[in-house]
Amino acid sequence: MDNNIKRKLKSVFEAPMPAKKDDFLNQLDYPKASRLDFIKSQAGYIRKQVWVLSLLLFIGTLILMYYFEVSDSVIWILSSALPFISLVSIGEIFRSITYNMDELEMSCKHNFLEISLIRFGILGLANLAVLISLLILLAGKTDFGFFRLGLYLTTPYLLNCYGSIFAVNRLKNREIVYVCGVVTASVSILNALFTTQINDIYTDKYWSFWIISFIILAVFSYKEILKLIKKMEELKWSLSLTV
Amino acid sequence: MELIIDRLTKQYKNKIAVDRISLTLNKGVYGLLGANGSGKTTLMRMLCGVLKPTSGEVKFNGIDVSQEEYRDSLGYLPQDFGYYPEFTAYEFLLYMASLKGLAKQSAKDKAKELLELVSLSDSAKKKIKTYSGGMKQRLGIAQAILNNPKILILDEPTAGLDPKERVRFRNLISQLGTDRIILLSTHIVSDIENIAGMILIMKDGQIVHKGGLDEIIKAIDGRVFECTVDAGEAGKLISMHTITNFRQENDKTFLRLICDKSPCENAISVKATLEDLYLYYFKEVNTDEKLF
């Protein structure tokens, strides 16, 4: 319509007040975010300390490599530090329970299980990226090779994952993250003691020990993760919330 | 718009918290009244999909409680909720909006609008840990209505609110109740009396009474009396009947009580209130509490 006519119409005709405007607006669906938007938003809610710790480990490795020759010491130091990355990740996943947000999150469209799985996925990928970066940095500097070095670094990490999720699956309290902290510290100290006390731990003599440990821990961790997902699906957390 | 609850049951080992409840809720405000441990919170958690029922089902317009579509229509304020310590009120609402599936821009608009509605705009950028109990409760109410829910479930929503905030909250709920289903539980009988169109009284996991205010208090109509008696007579009446009010007046005692016939000569029959009914239904609970 011509602007001039519009103006004239406005001047001669007073438009009535909108009737039931709010009712009409209430009927409209609000614009919804896509699943990808939701995943991106969740990545933004992961605390900075998780990324900072991963970055510190990576920078620490670079410094170690710059000042020292890559030896068994570098490997035990890194393999003892890696469980702490998994601790921060586990703490992040169970933040809802620690801060009593789980009940609210369970009632939302994207519920607690979905949020936890997305956090699992994002943090798992981040941990994997850190691990692969470390392996790429170190593999060329040692005689071990990529696969063998991966085994030495990931076995204590897997032991920590298994121990922490084992505890999470069996304990029902909001301070579970402190229990995981104790598990992580124990794994780290044990790994340091074990690898420094046995001089030839990284030799062919113990090769089968590393492979068997890795396979057993991988299978056990996988089983515990499945248990954890089932537990979340069954909403058993609620039992601990109910008075 | 219909929320159907069909033989809903929750059993914990040898205790039945909710016992085969069947209800159909339509648009309007429903007030759930019951003593501690009567099963109100358990019922509400099952209606929100937070707790898995032992048996029975909950459906909204044919959609089961376990489905994402159901949760998309739901707003929930739990009795006790936490928050991430680093969040401000505005960030908290944005986070909840993302979980409720709102797009970024509409989440920002809605968060600002609701902070205004619950009078928290001035404190929107403050950390929640600095908030008072009433402010946290208002923030909880705001997050519950972020997604313009068709079902709104509020567990003790007026706890921690001062009288002025409670009146504002009642008005807001009455306004919202015109085009959605609202179920709220509270211990504050006057809140239910003022807001709820339908009252549900819950005891031992079952709905023992339901109806409008006038309809529901009919159960004790003509059985509420007020009298002023001396100490000896008062002691006798207190031991025999449900006392809903007690006041010392000089050397006499004023009593409001529920009994089948006039308790004494000077007693006058008065109009029953919801509080009388509540105290009548939960007299055993009160007696039990006295034991401790």
A99 and B71 within 8 Å at the Cβ level: the answer is no
B218-239 residue pLDDT tens: 888 889 999 999 888 888 888 8
The domain segmentation of chain B, as residue ranges, is 3-217, 219-291
Which of B49, B83, B86 is nearest residue A106 as measured by Cβ atoms? B49
How far is the C-alpha of A96 from the C-alpha of A90, rounded, in Å? 11
Is the pLDDT at B276 greater than 70? The verdict is yes
Residue with tokens 């809140």: B191
How far is the C-alpha of A31 from the C-alpha of B104, rounded, in Å? 9
How far is the C-alpha of B115 from the C-alpha of B91, rounded, in Å? 11
Show the 3-state SS of B181-205.
Answer: EEEEECCCHHHHHHHCCEEEEEECC
| Chain B interface includes A175 (CB < 8 A) | no
How far is the C-alpha of A147 from the C-alpha of B55, rounded, in Å? 51
**What is residue B127's DSSP assignment?**
B
How far is the C-alpha of B260 from the C-alpha of A40, rounded, in Å? 66
A206-236 residue pLDDT tens: 889 999 999 999 999 999 988 888 877 665 4
The predicted pLDDT at position A22 comes to 67
The predicted pLDDT at position B289 comes to 42
B-chain CB neighbours of A31 within 8 Å are 102-103, 105-106
Q: How many residues does chain A have?
A: 243
> In terms of Cα–Cα distance, which of B191, B217, B220 is closest to B32?
B191
Tell me the sheet residues that pair with B35: none
The predicted pLDDT at position A233 comes to 67
Is the pLDDT at B190 greater than 70? The verdict is yes
A142-156 residue pLDDT tens: 778 888 888 998 999
The residue range of the domain holding A156 is 35-241
The answer to whether A111 and B98 have CB atoms below 8 angstroms apart is: no
B91-121 residue pLDDT tens: 999 999 999 999 989 999 999 999 998 989 9
How far is the C-alpha of A134 from the C-alpha of A111, rounded, in Å? 35
Is the pLDDT at B266 greater than 90? The verdict is no
Q: Is residue A12 part of a domain?
A: no
B-chain CB neighbours of A32 within 8 Å are 101-103
The answer to whether A157 and A79 have CB atoms below 8 angstroms apart is: yes
Q: How many residues does chain B have?
A: 292
For residue B132, give Cα distances in angstroms to A88, A99, B156, B200, B239. 31, 17, 17, 31, 41
From the CA of A234, how many Å to the nearest CA of chain B?
A: 7
Tell me the sheet residues that pair with A177: none
CB atoms within 10 A of CB A44: 9
The predicted pLDDT at position A127 comes to 85
How far is the C-alpha of A108 from the C-alpha of A202, rounded, in Å? 49
Q: Is residue A27 part of a domain?
A: no
What average pLDDT does the structure give for chain B? 89
Domains identified in chain A, total number:
1
The predicted pLDDT at position B292 comes to 32
The predicted pLDDT at position B22 comes to 96
| Chain B interface includes A45 (CB < 8 A) | yes
How far is the C-alpha of A181 from the C-alpha of A83, rounded, in Å? 10
Which of B45, B81, B148 is nearest residue A238 as measured by Cβ atoms? B45
**What is residue A14's DSSP assignment?**
P
A235 and B106 within 8 Å at the Cβ level: the answer is no
How far is the C-alpha of A54 from the C-alpha of A131, rounded, in Å? 10
The predicted pLDDT at position A23 comes to 67
Task: Assign domain B3-217 to a CATH class.
Answer: alpha beta
The predicted pLDDT at position A214 comes to 94
> In terms of Cα–Cα distance, which of B219, B186, B153, B275 is closest to B210?
B219
> What value does the mean pLDDT take over residues B38-47?
93
**Strand locations in chain B, DSSP E?**
3-12, 15-25, 28-33, 55-60, 63-64, 74-77, 151-155, 181-185, 198-203, 206-211, 224-229, 242-249, 252-258, 268-269
Residue with tokens 């309290």: A173
Q: Is residue A121 part of a domain?
A: yes
The predicted pLDDT at position B97 comes to 95
Q: Which two tokens stand for residue B115?
A: 């902070």
B81 and A95 within 8 Å at the Cβ level: the answer is no
| Chain B interface includes A25 (CB < 8 A) | no
How far is the C-alpha of B137 from the C-alpha of B143, rounded, in Å? 10
> In terms of Cα–Cα distance, which of A116, A110, A114 is closest to A94?
A116
Residues of chain A with pLDDT under 70: 1, 22-23, 25-30, 70, 233-243
B147 and A109 within 8 Å at the Cβ level: the answer is yes
B-chain CB neighbours of A235 within 8 Å are 49-52
Which of B81, B84, B86 is nearest residue A103 as measured by Cβ atoms? B81
Q: Euclidean distance between the first and final Cα of chain B, in Å? A: 45
How far is the C-alpha of A181 from the C-alpha of A199, rounded, in Å? 28
Q: Which two tokens stand for residue B20?
A: 């085969």
Tell me the pLDDT band of B285, cut-offs 50, 70 and 90: low
Cβ partners under 8 Å of residue A12, min gap 6 = none
Least reliable range by pLDDT among A18-32, B37-51, B127-141, B174-188: A18-32
Amino acid at B210: K
How far is the C-alpha of A204 from the C-alpha of A151, rounded, in Å? 13
How far is the C-alpha of A181 from the C-alpha of B75, rounded, in Å? 35
How far is the C-alpha of A242 from the C-alpha of A50, rounded, in Å? 32
> In terms of Cα–Cα distance, which of A30, A45, A113, A80 is closest to A201?
A80
A-chain CB neighbours of B73 within 8 Å are none
The predicted pLDDT at position A25 comes to 67
DSSP string covering A174-190, please?
TTHHHHHHHHHHHHHHH
Q: Judging by beta carbons within 10 Å of its beta carbon (0-12, 13-18, 19+), is residue B132 exposed, middle or buried?
A: exposed
The predicted pLDDT at position B31 comes to 94
Which of B76, B80, B86 is nearest residue A107 as measured by Cβ atoms? B76
| Chain A interface includes B80 (CB < 8 A) | yes
- Looking at per-residue pLDDT, the higher value among B194 and A183 belongs to A183
| Residue of A22, A27, A108, A111 for testing the chain B interface, max B β-carbons within 10 Å | A108
| Chain A interface includes B44 (CB < 8 A) | no
| Chain B interface includes A42 (CB < 8 A) | yes
The answer to whether B26 and B177 have CB atoms below 8 angstroms apart is: no
Q: Is residue A137 part of a domain?
A: yes
> What value does the mean pLDDT take over residues B54-68?
93
Q: Is residue A71 part of a domain?
A: yes
